[in-house]
A and B are shown apart, each in its own frame.
Chain A
Amino acid sequence: MRRPPPPLLLACLLCAQAVLNAACGGAGRWGAHPKSFYHWKAKVSIGETERRYFAGLGCERLYMRFFDVDAAPSGGSAPAAPMAKVEPFDGAALAAEYVPTVFITNRTFVKMPPEGRVRLARNVSSLVESVRSQNKLAASGEIHVDCDWTAGTRDAYFAFLEELRAASGKDVSCTLRLHQIKFRGRAGVPPVAKAVLMCYATSDPGDGPGRNSILDMALLKDYMEDAASYPLDFDVALPLYSWAVVTNHLGEVKLVNDVAARDLGADAAHFQYAGGGEYRVKEDFFFRGLYLNKGFSVRVEGVSPELLREAKGYLDGKLRRGYGIVYYHLDRPFLEAFSIRDLE
């Protein structure tokens, strides 16, 4: 049993800590969290704003989604194939280490035999390399995989991650979702050195108004109760995005990406504010490619600087160790809702 430190020493330590805090300006007890971003669009358009924020936050890495992988549910006839490959772009547009990121649907792994995993690992590895070389990106030592696996696909997915490491010769990292932290017994712990915990999507937008499905602090805290004891070191991903949740005449829900609250308020011809953050559609029209009928209701969900600050403060207190923050995602309309300071 160790003796507690003598009072004077303690005072000195606390003093030093306070100085450190002041110097780092809100960096927290655990030091500044290095920042990076996800990039998730198929069509790359990195411009001035993106560069400014990226550099302003001292970012070095960009997790760029190179492609998705999906398999048709019937399995046999339509094997796992890549989808929505990122379109050719100019890697010089952003000074960053591009970390290839691949999104794989859960159903890809349903009933996948061992040879399927090996094949997929090889295919993923070589397509990653192909994208990298065609866009003249410097090689990254890492491949990042995003997959919302379940108890049923766990074994296949984990084996795939190992195969990918062997096939690519790179470090493999992956995403974690909140339910996988909470129910780690059922979900298992993936065989990676590092993971990124998506601290968002706390509920389903179809659950109705009254809760921010992107980030609800109460739910986040519930999921993360035992997060500090998770046997893997993880960075955290935080959301910057917003979307419109459209509810139709039958209570069904569709999402429209990249919509901010001001977009609805500015269009008085089509949207009537109905209170509580909800708008009613006044007449049939096309809204960002989705046909809305008169009578539908629309609300915007997003993340405000205050909510982001609250989330970060909570995570600091909860995790009590160093970790990186990866923002989802690097796109001007979302960035502009925050100042660089908000994101530090």
Chain B
Amino acid sequence: MRKRLLQTILLAAALLGCALQTGVLACGGGDYTPDTGFYNLFMQEIIDDARYYPFLLTEGGFYRSADRGGGKNENIEEWAAYLGIAYDDARRLVFDSASAALEKLLGGAPAPEAGLGFLTPEFAAKHKAALHYLVVAKGLEPYMSVGGAYEQAWDYGDGVPDLRPASDLDYDETRAMLQKEWREAPDKELKLRYGYQLVRFAHYSGMYDDAVAFFEDCVAPLGHTPPMYYHALSQKAGALRGRGDVAEANADFFRVFAHSNNLKEAALVSIRFTDDVSFQEFLEKAEGDQERNDAYLLLGFTAFSNPLNAVEKIVAATPDAIQAKVLMARAVNTLERLLLPTSPYASPYWLGGIDDYRDAGEAAGKAGRRRYPEPPNDKTRAFLGDAMRLSARLAESGDVKGKDFWLITSAYLHFLDGDYATARKHLGKVADQGGKYRVQGRNLGMYIDVSEPAAITPEVEGALFAKYRDLLGRERPPRQASSPDGTPEDWFSYSTRSFVRDVFANRYYLQKEYAKSFLLHHDIDGLRLHPDLGLLDQLEAFFDKPGKTGFEKVIVEGIYPYRDDDPGRVREKVDVHGRIDYIRGVVHLADADFDKALTAFSRMKKREMEIPRDIFGYNRIECFDCAGADVMATDYLEDFPYIAETMDEKGLADALVRLREAGKKAGGGDGELAAKANYLVGNFVYNTTRTGYYRGVTRFSPSSSHENGAYYGADRADILDGTYFMSFHQYHKNNVAAARSYLEKALGQAKDRELRARIVFALSKCELEEYYDGTDAAAFAGRRRGAYGDDDGILITDRRRFEELAGYDDTEFYGEVASRCKYFEYFINNRL
């Protein structure tokens, strides 16, 4: 029993420690940043009370504010007040000074090292007892932790766990020492602190009854409740938990939550970990507005609860309570996560609960061209409506003194709802024009201005560009110092900027201005992931367009890719036409349209590729990460002298055109040559498909190893699927059919059996790939691709080309294949 609760406490402590250290990032593992995935436009910190920032909505632990204004250490503040010194001096004294130095000081020595110069002998004499306390405290500090629980985990039984290192101290000796000090302490403050040490020590030593008794005897009767009182109370609550008094412990943790600034999170974690919390008791026992409202805050704080219900209850009695604002900010943030996802077609909500990404892609395609941001759906309409009505009501209520929060919240919610008129109306009424309100107000005005127009006509575009030139006219946010009123500027935050750009991109997409939509997120090289000839033409047309508008001049800059080496993210002014022709040429190559490829490549001024001639060969081994010389074998190349040792893309296209022509001649002496030519072309096409060694050539990858490029399925061939071009699916045509076609032609012409064996083997590889692709429906009808337990199907039955190849066992090539191709070997040994 105790162990389980203790583990709970430890888990809580670990969680807390984690949350405190890593900030917004969640603990334990890598790159997960919980508050991405939505635009996060509403500044929750507009509640403007640093005590409650930790309780704003975030996914990973407690909310971490960049504004650390409210983050003073209460313990140090208490010392500063007690000793009559500055906060920073107190901090150095308590945290930085060495115990030995303090002892020397007490012995009459002069002030120790710099930074502690105020510790004069006079000061020491005046605050002798306090300094003595600090020596004692520093002595105990290394032992004040709980440890060792995991080692005990595989035990069963009821013994008190070994709580090293607190138990490294002799319990009775230490207790007696502290009790003596407590008795001899000259005032309440120091008695309180010794009492705290007693409670904590007993708690960490597992002496829970003692810990509770020490609180009741040494702390409570003092009637002195500065922050350290709540630290002691927190320890007592931990001891109550340890001995199983869960309800009492919760009541104490709650009190700590309500009254301590530094311990709010720790207390909340402790409460949240319990199984049967009775918040009802908190409410009934709550003393005063602060405690009652904090109880409601805790009620509305859990992810499952509806925070608006708690807001209603709070404002019924105290309309300006900060807790109501915290809960409303959380509600707004929740709505943002649902209504403003950054990847709409990856969001299950947006597609009505579709979780599988494959289905999401399909559904997004069907969803077609949607206007962003989308209005609320069934799941959110009610909640958004309730939030809007509540904040609007409070914004207009005579009982509420601080209306600005509710006005700006209401404005923002109406913006989310698409009711721009009401949003503007409430925004216009916000009185406070400084600090966070100024920033949030200006941003919100921009979101409305950009989202509202039905279409971005040239007039609208011009007006918006003129008004928001600062943001739209540049790529990266300027570094902004604090504004004159001391608030860090948020004007150009990443999320603001992305949202605005994304809305423009969406509108251009809907208006079929695809080049502009594309370039708001991608440069010309981006199209290599999904080379689309239609879009290429449009990009070229836009690039060459004379008389561009102001915004268009900015957008077209996006066509230039970033330099790899420049950390300043400067764009490189590449030859755009050359880049476009390169992509065109490669697309034509993949289409086996060699003439068009040659035309496109011929226009390029700069060479891009260097291709060895064994691209016309075949695999001796399958190894994408090995060197070409080890992998590929070639035949018949000497018969075609225009195939150079290495070729650039133009030379390659040229060679392919000639080979194709050579392949057309039939009969007489040229028949065999034609067959070889077609065989080589077939090899080339196959080698540049997805499972070919030279697949990188048609996928803009420098090499074909597994690290480069994506070689997965042709998910969506149509690049125009989806909401807009923020992200699009990769696609490269996998032209196995063309490879097969050339090889079949070759087979029809070839007489030499060694050549025929090679062709049949090449055809068997095409057969396999068409099976993977699911394109050869006739052959593999009724069999699900990749169905488990289906291995024999693909390796033995339906392997028509293997069957055919088996007939070439009189050739030398057969011997090579039978030993090196494991699939064929399996086929030969196991076929029925």
Residues of A within 8 A of B (CB): 72-74, 77-79, 81-82, 84-85, 87-88, 123, 126-127, 130-131, 134, 183, 185-186, 248-252, 254, 284, 286, 289-291, 293-296
Cβ B788 vs Cβ A249 within 8 A: no
Interface CB pairs A-B, < 8 A, 13:
A74-B29, A78-B150, A81-B154, A127-B156, A130-B157, A131-B156, A134-B156, A134-B157, A249-B306, A291-B279, A291-B302, A291-B305, A293-B305
Shortest CB–CB separation between residue A64 and chain B, in angstroms?
14
Chain B residues closer than 8 Å to A252, beta-carbon distance: 303-304
Apart from A74-B28, A248-B306, 17 more pairs, CB < 8 Å? A72-B28, A77-B28, A81-B150, A81-B153, A84-B4, A126-B154, A127-B154, A127-B156, A249-B308, A249-B383, A249-B386, A250-B383, A286-B278, A289-B277, A291-B279, A291-B304, A291-B305
Q: Nearest-CB distance from B59 to chain A (Å)?
A: 14
How far is the CB of B792 from the nearest CB of chain A, in Å? Answer: 13
- Nearest CB of A to B279, in Å: 7
Which of B4, B276, B382 is A85 in contact with, Cβ under 8 Å?
A: B4
Contact, CB under 8 Å: B276 / A289: yes
Is B545's CB within 8 Å of the partner chain A? no
Are A87 and B150 neighbours in the complex by a CB distance under 8 Å? no
Q: What is the CB-to-nearest-CB distance from A203 to chain B, in angstroms, rounded to a whole number?
A: 14
The answer to whether A254 and B304 touch across the interface, beta carbons within 8 angstroms, is yes
- The answer for the CA separation of A294 and B158 in the assembled complex, in Å, is 43
Could you say which residues of chain B place their CB within 8 Å of the CB of A74? 27-29
What are the residues of chain A within 8 A of B334 when measuring CB–CB? 250
* Candidate in A134, A249, A295 with the most chain B CB atoms within 10 angstroms: A249
| Residues in chain A near residue B27, CB distance under 8 A | 74
What string of 1s and 0s marks CB contacts (under 8 Å) between B121-161 and chain A? 00000000000000000000000000000100111111000
Whole-angstrom distance between the Cβ of B307 and the nearest chain A Cβ:
9
**Interface assignment of B456: CB less than 8 Å from any CB of chain A:** no
- Whether B280 is near chain A, meaning CB under 8 Å from some CB there, is yes
Chain B positions 237-281 with a Cβ under 8 Å from a chain A Cβ: 275-280
A72 contact set on B, CB distance < 8 A: 28
Q: Which of B4, B304, B380, B386 contacts A248 (CB 8 A)?
A: B304
Contact code string B364-379 (vs A, CB < 8 Å = 1, else 0): 0000000000000001
Complex contacts, B789 vs chain A, CB 8 Å: 185
Min Cβ gap B199→A in Å is 28
The contact of A293 among B153, B303, B306, B379, by CB within 8 Å, is B306
B811 at the A interface (CB under 8 A): no
A259 to chain B, nearest CB (A): 15
Contact of A183 among B383, B386, B788 (CB under 8 A): B788
Residues in chain A near residue B338, CB distance under 8 A = 250
CA distance A291 to B4 in the complex (A): 24
Contact B1 A82 (CB under 8 A): no
Contact A289 B275 (CB under 8 A): yes
Using CB atoms, name the residue of chain A closest to B275: A289
CB closest chain-A residue, reference B337: A250
- Cα distance A220–B154 in the bound complex, in angstroms: 38
Q: How far does the alpha carbon of A185 sit from the alpha carbon of B306 in the complex, in Å?
A: 44
Give complex CA distance A85, B156 in Å.
8
With contact pairs A250-B338, A294-B309 given, residues A82 and B278 touching in the complex (Cβ less than 8 Å): no
Task: With a 10 A CB-CB cut-off, give which of B306, B338, B789 has the most chain A CB atoms.
Answer: B306
Chain B residues with CB under 8 A of A77: 28
Contact status A82-B153, CB under 8 Å:
yes
- In the complex, B817 has a CB within 8 A of chain A: no
**Alpha-carbon gap, A284 to B296, bound state (A):** 11
Q: How far is the CB of A217 from chain B (nearest CB, A)?
A: 24
Q: Which residue of B lies closest to A128 (CB)?
A: B156
Residues in B279-311 with C-beta less than 8 Å from chain A: 279-280, 299, 302-306, 308-309
For the complex of A and B, list the 4 residue pairs with the smallest distance between their C-beta atoms, beginning with the closest. A185-B788, A74-B28, A293-B306, A130-B156
Q: Which residue in chain A gives the minimum CB-CB distance to B29?
A: A74
Give residues in B with beta carbon < 8 Å to A: 1, 4, 27-29, 150, 153-158, 275-280, 299, 302-306, 308-309, 313, 334, 338, 379-380, 382-383, 386, 787-789
Given contacts A73-B29, A81-B150, contact A295 B156 (CB under 8 A): no
Known: A73-B28, A77-B28, A130-B157. A251 touches B379 (CB 8 A): yes
Residues A293 and B28 in contact in the complex (CB < 8 Å), given A82-B153, A123-B154, A185-B789: no
**Bound-state Cα–Cα, A85 to B789, Å:** 40
**Known: A249-B382, A251-B379. Is A82-B154 also a contact (CB below 8 A)?**
yes
**Chain A positions within 8 Å of B313 at CB level:** 284
**A73 and B28 alpha carbons, distance in the complex (Å):** 8
* Cα separation A83 to B789 with both chains bound (whole Å): 38
How distant is the Cα of A291 from the Cα of B277 in the complex, in angstroms?
10
In the bound complex, CA of A79 to CA of B153 (Å): 11
Alpha-carbon gap, A123 to B379, bound state (A): 47
Q: A82-B154, A127-B156 are in contact. Are A250 and B305 (CB under 8 A)?
A: no
- Residues of chain A contacted by B306 (CB below 8 angstroms): 248-249, 293, 295-296
Residue in A81, A85, A248, A251 whose CB lies within 8 Å of B305: A248
Q: Which residues of A contact B156 (CB under 8 A)?
A: 85, 127, 130-131, 134
For A151, the closest partner residue in chain B by CB is B788
Cα(A286)–Cα(B298), bound, Å: 14
The contact of B380 among A73, A250, A294, by CB within 8 Å, is A250
* Cα A196 to Cα B276 with chains together (Å): 33
Q: With A72-B28, A87-B1 given, is the CB distance from A293 to B309 under 8 Å?
A: yes
A245 nearest CB across to chain B (Å): 13
Chain B residues with CB under 8 A of A85? 4, 156
Chain B residues contacting A126 (CB-CB under 8 Å) are 154
Give the nearest-CB partner of B155 in chain A.
A130
User: Once the chains are docked, how many angstroms separate the CA of A53 from the CA of B787?
Assistant: 46
Closest chain B residue to A79 by CB distance? B150
Least CB separation from B787: chain A residue: A185
Give B153 Cβ to nearest chain A Cβ, in Å. Answer: 4
What chain A residues lie within 8 Å of B788 (beta carbons)?
183, 185-186
Cα-based distance from A123 to B155 in the complex (angstroms): 9
A185–B789 Cα gap in the complex (Å)?
Answer: 6
A72-B28, A248-B304, A291-B299 known; A284-B278 Cβ under 8 A? no
Chain A residues within 8 Å of B382, by CB? 249
**Cβ of B277: which chain A residues have Cβ within 8 Å of it?**
289
Q: How close is B158's CB to chain A, nearest CB, in angstroms?
A: 7
Instruction: Name which of B27, B29, B275, B380 has the most chain A CB atoms within 10 A of its CB.
Output: B29
Q: How far is the CA of A266 from the CA of B344 in the complex (A)?
A: 44
A63 to B425, CA, bound (A): 66
Chain B residues contacting A127 (CB-CB under 8 Å) are: 154, 156
Query: B3 to chain A: closest CB distance in Å?
Result: 8
Q: How far is the CA of A251 from the CA of B353 in the complex (A)?
A: 10
B219 → A minimal CB distance (Å)? 31
Query: Judging by beta carbons under 8 Å apart, are B157 and A250 in contact?
Result: no
A186 to B788, CA, bound (A): 7
The complex places the Cα of A126 from the Cα of B156 at a distance, in Å, of 10
CA distance A310 to B788 in the complex (A): 32
Contacts of B28 in A (CB 8 A): 72-74, 77
Q: A123 to B789, alpha carbons, bound, how many Å?
A: 36
Distance from A86 Cβ to chain B, minimum over Cβ atoms (Å):
9
Q: How far is the CB of B298 from chain A (nearest CB, A)?
A: 10
A130 to B578, CA, bound (A): 75
Q: How far is the CA of A100 from the CA of B241 in the complex (A)?
A: 30
What CA separation (Å) do A130 and B788 show in the bound complex? 42
A289→B379 CA distance, assembly (Å): 25
Beta-carbon nearest neighbor of A66 in chain B: B156
In the bound assembly, the distance between CA atoms of A185 and B788 in angstroms comes to: 6
Query: Min CB distance, B770 to chain A, in Å?
Result: 23
**Using Cβ atoms and an 8 Å threshold, which residues of chain B touch A87?**
1
Distance between A150 CB and nearest chain B CB, rounded to angstroms: 14
